């Protein structure tokens, strides 16, 4: 009986830790790229609702790649639609490997995960729904080796 109580307490404690980690993110979503081939016209689309324009946020792009990816970087187009329907477009370079070719992401084996901070201590200017569309901007029509793309928004501390 005592062992069952200890196991129950351990499970509850572990669950609370996992929930606390997830509660920090305002938004954290990724999209799987089909067949690990990202076509130049394919968009990864994310909708984020912001309720607090005074809060400072950190903004990340999450990339999962295989070691078959043949480049050390990844250029993306980030299209942002604001709640007032204004649109901005940025070209962003994400570094996935160092100058010697060593992958910078975490992970074992052939899959590496990168969470690359684009902005820290930023404020969203408007309350409402933001739409982010990410498109690969490499100079090839089909980009092999990228398996997932996502964004994460967390409150700054």
Q: Which range (15-24, 84-93, 126-135) has the least confidence? A: 15-24
Quickly name the fold that domain 27-155 has.
Answer: Jelly Rolls (2.60.120)
Other CB atoms closer than 10 Å to residue 77's CB: what's the count?
A: 15
Confidence of residue 9 (pLDDT cuts 50, 70, 90): very low
- Residue 111, sorted as left (phi over 0), alpha (psi -120 to 50) or beta, turns out to be beta
Average pLDDT, the chain: 88
**What does the chain come to in residues?**
157
pLDDT of 24: 81
Domain ranges of the chain: 27-155
Q: Quick: pLDDT tens for 91-128.
A: 999 999 999 999 999 998 899 999 999 999 999 999 99
């Amino acid at each position: 009986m005592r062992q069952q109580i200890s196991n129950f307490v351990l499970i509850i404690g572990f669950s609370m830790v996992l929930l606390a980690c997830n509660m920090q993110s305002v938004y954290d979503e990724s999209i799987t790229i089909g067949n690990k081939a990202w076509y130049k016209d394919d968009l990864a689309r994310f909708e984020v609702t912001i309720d607090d324009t005074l809060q400072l946020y950190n903004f990340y792009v999450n990339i999962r790649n295989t070691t078959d990816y043949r480049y050390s970087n990844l250029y993306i187009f980030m299209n942002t639609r604001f709640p007032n329907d204004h649109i901005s477009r940025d070209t962003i370079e994400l570094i996935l490997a160092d100058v010697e070719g060593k992958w910078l992401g975490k992970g074992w084996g052939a899959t590496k995960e990168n969470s690359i901070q684009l902005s820290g201590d930023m404020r969203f200017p408007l309350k409402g729904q933001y739409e982010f569309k990410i498109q690969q901007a490499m100079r090839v029509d089909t980009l092999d080796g990228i398996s997932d793309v996502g964004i994460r928004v967390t409150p700054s501390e």
